[in-house]
Amino acid sequence: MENLRRQYTQCGLKESDLCGCPFEQFRLWFEDAQHRIKDDFFEPNAMALATSNKKGEVSNRVVLLKGFDEKGFRFFTNYESSKAKDLEENPNGSLLFYWPQIERQIRIAGGVVKTDRAVSRQYFDSRPRESRISAVISPQSRPVENRQVLEEAAAKESEQVSGGEIELPDYWGGYRVTPTLFEFWQGRENRLHDRLQYTSCDGRWEIQRLGP
């Protein structure tokens, strides 16, 4: 494994390349990733979410970004999941987008709050029917005997609701990460990567270059 390495040669990142607003810079990189990466398996909105509990024990998992604006970045989950329990104890989190095809990463950190119920309902109703049923029946992060138990529960729920509406469960909804820090990382040759960081300070954003 010691010999597994590659050079990053696609481009660099200068301070003059950046927008003054990190949300706008994120939008530009996100759209660029969608345009440049031609891969059937690529999900540009896949992001690693790191949380920790009151003991300082850290957990990480990949979730999907389902919207962002200058209030923050939204994702949705079961409010009884392990990540939700972490966020009850420590309402802070970190996101990481990694796009190796274009040698870029974006790191975002900040406080995390639940979205309004109307926001959760709007997204829930937009999901495919089968995905909504899965959200209703899944005891997320808790042990289950086997897969058959889940499939039977989904089939039973589908039969019960038949052609009717699938109601948003009280235990399911969205979170919003409100950033206090962004880091835009561009891979460079010989590990002299470009790392430019935005930090929130008194209502404005300061930009600094970090050592690689």
Name the residues annotated as catalytic.
Answer: 191
- Positive or negative, the CA dihedral 15, 111, 137, 151 is positive
In the chain, what is the greatest distance between 2 CA atoms, to the nearest angstrom?
60
The amino acid present at 11, given as its one-letter code, is C
CA 3 to chain centre: 31
Closest CA to 106 of 27, 43, 53: 27
DSSP characters over 185-208: EE--GGG--EEEEEEEETTEEEEE
Residue 170, classified by CB atoms within 10 Å of its CB into exposed (0-12), middle (13-18) or buried (19+), is exposed
- The β-bridge partners of 109 are 94, 181
Residue with tokens 């019960």: 160
Distance CA 158, CA 134 (A): 10
